[in-house]
Each structure stands twice: as C-alpha cells, then as structure tokens.
Amino acid sequence: MFDVVVIGAGPAGSSAATETARRGLSALIIDKEVFPRDKPCGGAVSGRGMSYLSEPIPSGLIQREIHEARIGFSSVTRSVHRDDIMAVVVDRAAFDHYLLQSAQAAGARAKLGERVHRLTDTGSHVEVETSRGTYHARFAVVAEGAFGGLKTRVRRKDRPDEMGLCAVTDVPAATEEIEGFPGSTLEMQLGVAGYGYGWVFPHDDHFSVGVGDMARLMSGPRARLADFLTAVRVSHLPSVPAGTRPLPPPVPPTAARARRQSAGIMSASAARTSGAISADRSS
C-alpha cells in the first residue's frame, strides 16, 4: 500500500510525486508512456511557472533565457523588457523527463508504459487498476492532462465550450536567424485569424510556431496555423516556409486547473504554470 499514487508523469504529476516523496510519504507515479515522451508544446516556462518547481531548472535544460515579450494586436506591438529572466525555453520532452527523474531521485517509484484504466475509492483506500496490475494507496492524484476520463471521478466532464485548441509546429532555423529574432524574445500575436492568438518562441535550432483559440471558434486549425506561418514569414522570419511544411495533427486543449476533493482522489494540473502562453480552459 502506497501513501499516494500519482497518475500521469507530466509536470503536474511529477511535481506532486516529488513533493510527496520529500515529505517522507511513499509515492508511486504511473504513466502510460515511456519517458522521454513527446508533448506538443511551445516549450516556454514563465517565471511564475518556475516558481512552482521544487528547484531551479538545471542550466543544461535551458535552451533560451527570455528577457523580452513582444505582444502584437493588429498593427500595434508592445514590448516588455526585463533585465532578469522572465521565462525560459526548454525542450518539453527533456524537461518532463527531468521532472520525472527528480521525483524518482526523491524516492518515488515509477511505472511507465502502464495505462490506468480504473480508479476505485473503496472508502478505506484507493484501488488503481492498470494495464499491468492493481495498486493500492491511501490517496490518488489524477494528473492525466487534458485527455482521459479519470478526472471525472472527482469533477464533472469538460464541456466543449470550455475547451481550447492549439496547433503547433517546429520551424528549423539557423542560429543567426534565431539570435536575430532576437533569441531572448517571446512573441505573441493576438487576434490571429479571429479571436485566437499565435506564438513564435525561439529554441536552440528551431522556432516553435503555433496558434490557439477556443475550440468552438477554431475551425480548420491546420489552415489557421498555415495562415499564421505565412504572416510570420512576411513580417520577419524569412526562413519560415509559409505553411509548406507538413503540419502535425491538431492537438487537444490542455488540462484544467487544479481541483481538490475531500475524497481520496485528487485532480491536479500544471496548466496554470504559464497562463500567458497556453490555451488552457479558463474556468
């Protein structure tokens, strides 16, 4: 019997497992994927997001230190500059892997490549059934991200009108182009193809370019992303190939904000770690 079983080893789950283990409680973290795993993401972690982490992000994981945000709407652009670091850009697969390894280093056990099918609150403890076995714990933390129905054990199902939708792609670029962007700047455009937004985030060898909106307003996410790629190329990124790259499948909304329940099962999410740059639900 574990004190806490955490379902999902994204930033929310791994952070929960780390904190649990550091408090001397036994923790088991389960993820259906084997890490490192891909996660569609712009890869920017805000200062506020970093403040929630148990320790500073190792420098080896930081691809860019961000000192400026450029936010545009229509023909108007405003820049915010800070001498200290306002955000960092990371490779999401490596970042999530690091957080999981931190949880393990703190003493959490991990079961990877194992999907949780069912959670049962027996009254005395929680029973967690996976593709490979059954585990028992005093408490469960559901950190399954946007997908999955386990969270409905403790809260209602997401309504379609609460969902956001993003499409993202990586655009390879030469170092000089990224440095000239400049590489310490995050750019966001509001009102992209309607009420949505688009982002251009510099990484080490590519830009992350994406668009997001409420799902009900986001018809044709691939076309919206292609339009944004074209607009970005026209304005200042000559190497962006104007939507000629094969675009990834549209990605779903990200997870909802953390909620707690009095029962032994909790739902957690790191969705709020960077409110400015995610398309998370706002309710």
Ligand X SMILES: Cc1cc2nc3c(=O)[nH]c(=O)nc-3n(C[C@H](O)[C@H](O)[C@H](O)COP(=O)(O)OP(=O)(O)OC[C@H]3O[C@@H](n4cnc5c(N)ncnc54)[C@H](O)[C@@H]3O)c2cc1C
- Binding region for ligand X (CB under 6 A): 7-13, 30-33, 39-45, 49, 115-116, 143-145, 147-148, 150, 166, 168, 210, 251, 254-255, 269-271, 273-274, 277-278, 280
Q: Nearest to residue 43, comparing CAs of 205, 164, 197, 243?
A: 205
- Toward ligand X, which CB reaches closer, 63 or 278? 278
- Report the C-alpha gap between 206 and 102 in whole angstroms: 27
CB of 280 to ligand X, least distance (A): 6
- Toward ligand X, which CB reaches closer, 146 or 237? 146
CB of 87 to ligand X, least distance (A): 8
- Report the C-alpha gap between 91 and 157 in whole angstroms: 31
- Toward ligand X, which CB reaches closer, 10 or 264? 10
- Report the C-alpha gap between 170 and 69 in whole angstroms: 19
Secondary element (H or E) of residue 47 = helix 47-51
- Toward ligand X, which CB reaches closer, 240 or 254? 254
Instruction: Determine how β-strand 109-112 pairs with β-strand 27-31.
Output: parallel
DSSP 240: S
CB of 100 to ligand X, least distance (A): 9
CB of 213 to ligand X, least distance (A): 12
List all residues 6 or more positions away from 156 whose beta carbon is below 8 Å from its beta carbon.
none
CB of 158 to ligand X, least distance (A): 13
- Toward ligand X, which CB reaches closer, 102 or 269? 269
